[in-house]
């Protein structure tokens, strides 16, 4: 059989094809005041004030190292965003995290103490770093090496709820709570991490967001518009894991995840099924065999009666029946840890400003992220001249976020790729 002759590859310019496979262009030398460090084949260009870097961890969106702040002698954590302008999704996530970390000020929320770029102008902005206090291990790592006592679990869950009360009062839904996003220092203080997937509460919220095992079912399967109670479901999953030492719903995929959830909370009522917007999801659930609700005492024999009762309210399948963070803080389970007078709320809500709403291109997001960096650094310089002013008052946010929110009807499904929805 005679095969057809292949046509030669066309090229706009001779040699362009081969030039694309040549060595990358040389890196620009660090600007004044910066120095270059290589860690695990990753180039870091950071201010000279940060030295003695050591790799701490790596995720899908960034690499974190520890460094010594030569001005204070303290160890800090430095995060380098991984290709923040690879796509508009990456850029949006970077912007959200910087904006929220700059705005939120609470002892149970990670504090950003510096943000910088070695790039000298907005058009060339490709590298973004932020610095935070160095926290100890996260709950995921702690659970690998030890089981916690009931008193320790109560104290940790109380602090997570305390931090969430503040976050929710600012009009924010975290959407990605999981053990690896809950850090604990050597004296047991909790910090909530990673606001890259956080969203304003009035923003139309559908689709994929958090790590599957800790997702509320209404967002995992894109069932309906969801609310701040998706974070409560995640806290319930974390509480169950702290008590038992293993994940509550370790699904292999979204179908297996749903099956595991139904196997614990039981088949939903007809009233709840009527709230599910997806006809395909409704039909799928109707065709499942009927499953009774399982007594949490059976699943968690080591749990206290108060823990089981709180879990029952947190892991309610119907979001309308699920307990709120404020209600959870009033529950008997955290009564011994609670200080009602020590639960501050935000003094304003963080909205979506017009520039963020209008951002569509990478250049738009570069402008917004550049503005975030400059705003934070200007505020930091101003703070160095202020004295006798409380920390929360020093840096009142100068954004237009206190005005009414804009509502975007666009689905959040573009935030992260999903393996499948109903």
Match 């963070």 to its residue by tokens: 325
Give the pLDDT score at 419: 42
Q: Is 80 annotated as contributing to ligand binding?
A: yes
Q: Which listed residue (114, 176, 194, 415) is catalytic? A: 194
Ranges 211-220, 254-263, 329-338, 356-365, most confident: 329-338
Residues 184, 230, 362, 100: what is their CA dihedral angle, to the nearest 10 degrees? -50
Spatial separation of the C-alpha atoms in residues 267 and 290, rounded to whole Å = 6
Nearest to 46 by CA among 62, 25, 69: 69
Q: Which residues are bridge partners to 114 per DSSP?
A: 131
- Is residue 176 annotated as a catalytic residue, yes or no? no
Higher pLDDT, 233 or 22: 233
End-to-end CA distance of the chain: 48
71: three-class secondary structure by DSSP: coil
Nearest to 178 by CA among 129, 237, 125, 135: 237
Give the pLDDT score at 16: 41
Cα 190 → chain centroid: 15
Match 């806290």 to its residue by tokens: 235
Residue 65: Cβ-neighbour burial (10 angstroms; 0-12, 13-18, 19+):
buried
Report how far apart, in Å, the C-alpha atoms of 222 and of each of 185, 255, 294, 307, 310 are. Answer: 36, 13, 25, 29, 26
Give the pLDDT score at 382: 52
Whether the per-residue pLDDT at 134 is higher than 50: the answer is yes
Higher pLDDT, 201 or 57: 57
Nearest to 79 by CA among 164, 183, 160: 183
pLDDT digits (tens, 9 = 90+) for 194-231: 865 555 444 443 333 347 899 898 887 666 677 899 99
pTM, to two decimals: 0.80
> Domains of the chain by range and CATH?
34-134+354-398 (3.30.200.20), 139-342 (1.10.510.10)
Residue 212 · residue 193 · CB < 8 Å? no
Spatial separation of the C-alpha atoms in residues 250 and 253, rounded to whole Å = 9
Spatial separation of the C-alpha atoms in residues 141 and 33, rounded to whole Å = 36
Residue 125 · residue 366 · CB < 8 Å? yes
């Amino acid at each position: 059989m005679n095969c057809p002759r292949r046509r030669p590859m066309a090229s706009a310019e001779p040699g362009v094809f081969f030039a694309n496979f040549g060595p990358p262009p040389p890196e620009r030398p660090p600007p004044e005041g910066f120095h270059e460090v290589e860690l695990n084949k990753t180039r870091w260009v950071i201010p000279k004030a940060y030295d003695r870097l050591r790799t701490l961890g790596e995720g899908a969106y960034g690499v974190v190292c520890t460094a010594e702040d030569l001005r204070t002698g303290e160890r800090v954590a430095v995060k380098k965003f991984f290709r923040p302008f690879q796509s508009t999704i990456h850029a949006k996530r970077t912007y959200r995290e910087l904006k929220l970390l700059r705005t939120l000020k609470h002892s149970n929320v990670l504090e950003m103490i510096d943000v910088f770029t070695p790039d000298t102008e907005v058009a060339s902005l490709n590298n973004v770093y932020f610095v935070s206090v160095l926290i100890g291990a996260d709950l995921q790592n702690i659970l690998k090496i030890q089981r916690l006592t009931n008193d320790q679990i109560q104290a940790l869950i109380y602090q997570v709820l305390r931090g969430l009360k503040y976050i929710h009062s600012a009009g924010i839904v975290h959407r990605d709570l999981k053990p690896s996003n809950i850090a604990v220092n050597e004296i047991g203080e909790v910090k909530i991490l990673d606001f890259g997937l956080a969203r304003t509460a009035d923003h139309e919220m559908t689709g994929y967001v958090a790590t599957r095992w800790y997702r509320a079912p209404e967002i995992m399967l894109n069932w309906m518009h969801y609310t701040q109670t998706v974070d409560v479901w995640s806290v319930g999953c974390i509480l169950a894991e702290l008590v038992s030492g293993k994940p509550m719903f370790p699904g292999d995929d979204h179908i297996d995840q749903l099956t595991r959830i139904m196997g614990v909370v039981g088949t939903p009522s007809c009233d709840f099924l009527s709230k599910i917007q997806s006809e395909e999801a409704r039909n799928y659930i109707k065709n499942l065999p009927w499953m009774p609700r399982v007594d949490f005492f059976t699943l968690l024999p080591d749990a206290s009666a108060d823990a089981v009762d709180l879990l029952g309210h947190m892991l309610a399948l119907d979001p309308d029946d699920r307990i709120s963070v404020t209600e959870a803080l009033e529950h008997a389970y955290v009564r011994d840890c609670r200080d009602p007078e020590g639960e501050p709320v935000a003094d304003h809500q963080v909205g979506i400003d017009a520039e963020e709403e209008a951002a569509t291109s990478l250049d738009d997001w570069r402008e917004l992220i550049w503005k975030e960096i400059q705003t934070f650094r200007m505020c930091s310089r101003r703070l160095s001249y202020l004295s006798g002013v409380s920390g929360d008052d020093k840096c009142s946010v100068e954004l237009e976020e206190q005005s009414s929110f804009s509502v975007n009807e666009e689905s959040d499904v573009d935030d992260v790729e999903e393996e499948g929805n109903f």
